[in-house]
Structure 1
Amino acid sequence: MDIIVDLPALRILLITIIILSVLIEIKTGGTGFGALLGITAAAVFWGSGYISGLVNIYHIALFLGGILFIIIEVFTPATGIFAALGIVMMLYSIILGLGGDIGAVYMLAGSLIIAVFLFILIVKKLPSSIFWQKMILKDSSSSAKGYISSTDRSFLLNKEGVVLTELRPAGTILIDGSPIDAVSEGSYISRGERVRIIKTEGNRIIVRQV
């Protein structure tokens, strides 16, 4: 059994299952499937490693501590710090469990790539937890939902009108029979004076006295 589990391909598979189970639990918020899958893979990985002397209690405790932080994040309205810390602890413990060398980093990187790829394939079919909804921005700022960008008033450029209320420098002018809020270049312009629109910046209309 120890010889089989020590095969690099099988260890990568076990780590992939562990990482994938964590992603599933974060997405679903504790439905149990991801946890059961991950516990089984983790038990085989850490159990065989401990029996063969490749890992010690510290490595296992570090891994379990990472899981605890992720659970805290899922079931409490935290800001993500617990989940980030938990993931770092789990990944570091796995690197130590694989030997703590550059080969362990490569094996972990390969497992991460495979796990993320598999997660992308199934993510839309999984229910979403509150924590997942906090991480993912679902709504768009569309005009149908009441979000309106700055109005383009460039068509008013170079038009002339009359000052309705003194520009000090802000006030109101009359253009083509419609009152429009405007700002002078900086100087005071009294009521009744004629002005020309020289610049438009979104809703901001800048005028100059004729």
Structure 2
Amino acid sequence: MDIIVDLPALKMLLIAIIFLSVLIEIKTGGTGLGAFLGIIAAAVFWGSGYIKGLVNIYHIALFLGGILFIIIELVTPATGIFAALGIVMMLYSIILGLGGNIDAVYMLIGALVIAIVLFAFIVKKLPSSRLWQKVILKDSSTEDRGYTSSTDNSSLLHKEGTVLTELRPAGTILIDGSPIDAISEGAYIDKGKKIRIIKIEGNRIIVREV
């Protein structure tokens, strides 16, 4: 068993499982999915290293401290600083546990790649936690949310709408229920007035009061 654990490929796999379990816990908000497997992988990795004298209590404490910071992030209304600090502590402790040299960095990167690839296959099937919502963009700029394209506005030409904010001469108009940045052809146009789009020059939408 000692010889098997010493294999670099197995060490990399154990670390990948640890990272995967952390990603799963961040995604699910600490529901326990994957945590058991991560604990086993961490116990085998750190336990075998400690028995062989390759790691010490400081390395293990640093790793456990990183886990603690991530747990704090999951259960408190923090802004992500505890999770970031915890991840850094975990990465540093694992590099030290692998020898603290350039080979350790390569193994760490390899394990991260494996974990991310595996996580990508299951991420959509997992529930999302508050922490996960902080780091992932949830909303998209769609027409249903009141956004319009900034690259092709040709379809708006000659359409009529109302002034949403005063045009001085720049402001916002409302066309088909969507707010659009526009500019008058020179005159001030008050809020609520009806306008017509008379010209489009790239991203510039020029309007005239009806």
With the length of structure 2 as denominator, give the TM-score of the two structures. Answer: 0.73
Q: How does 1:73-88 map to 2 (within 5 A)?
A: 73-88=73-88
Where structure 2 has 5 or more consecutive residues not aligned to the other structure, the ranges are 159-167, 170-182, 188-197
Q: Which letter maps to 1:27? A: K
Instruction: Find the counterpart in structure 2 of residue 24 from structure 1.
Output: 24
Aligned-pair CA distance for 1:68: 1.0
Is the Cα contact below 8 Å between 1:183 and 1:205 reproduced in 2?
A: no
Q: 1:183 aligns with which of 167, 182, 186?
A: 186
Is the Cα contact below 8 Å between 1:12 and 1:107 reproduced in 2?
A: yes
Instruction: Find the counterpart in structure 1 of residue 179 from structure 2.
Output: none
Larger Rg: 1
Is the Cα contact below 8 Å between 1:152 and 1:203 reproduced in 2?
A: no
Aligned-pair CA distance for 1:10: 1.1
Q: CA RMSD in A?
A: 2.8
Instruction: Find the counterpart in structure 1 of residue 39 from structure 2.
Output: 39
- What SS class does the counterpart of residue 34 from structure 2 fall into? helix
Is the Cα contact below 8 Å between 2:27 and 2:129 reproduced in 1?
A: yes
- What SS class does the counterpart of residue 96 from structure 1 fall into? helix
- What SS class does the counterpart of residue 127 from structure 1 fall into? coil
Distance in 2 separating the partners of 1:121 and 1:154: 41
Distance in 2 separating the partners of 1:106 and 1:9: 12
With the length of structure 1 as denominator, give the TM-score of the two structures. Answer: 0.73
Instruction: Find the counterpart in structure 1 of residue 53 from structure 2.
Output: 53
Identity %: 72
Number of equivalenced pairs: 175
Q: Which letter maps to 1:183? A: G
Q: How does 1:109-128 map to 2 (within 5 A)?
A: 109-128=109-128
- What SS class does the counterpart of residue 128 from structure 2 fall into? coil
Is the Cα contact below 8 Å between 1:26 and 1:132 reproduced in 2?
A: yes
